[in-house]
Amino acid sequence: MTNAGGSIVTRGGLTLSADSWTNSNVIQAGRLTVNVN
């Protein structure tokens, strides 16, 4: 994904939140939170 922000929820129960993603080989985000239960 490119230029995506917000929350991504998968069936596996993984939530990934990022303020901003850049179109680059390296994901640059001001805040990246991954919660796995």
pLDDT for 11 equals 60
pLDDT for 25 equals 42
pLDDT for 35 equals 72
pLDDT for 14 equals 55
d(CA 28, CA 2): 11
pLDDT for 23 equals 45
> pTM value?
0.15
The residues, any chain, with a CB within 8 Å of residue 9's CB and separated by 6 or more, are 15
Q: What residue spans define the domains of the chain?
A: 6-36
Q: What digits encode the pLDDT tens for the residues 4-36?
A: 566 655 566 555 555 555 444 455 555 666 777
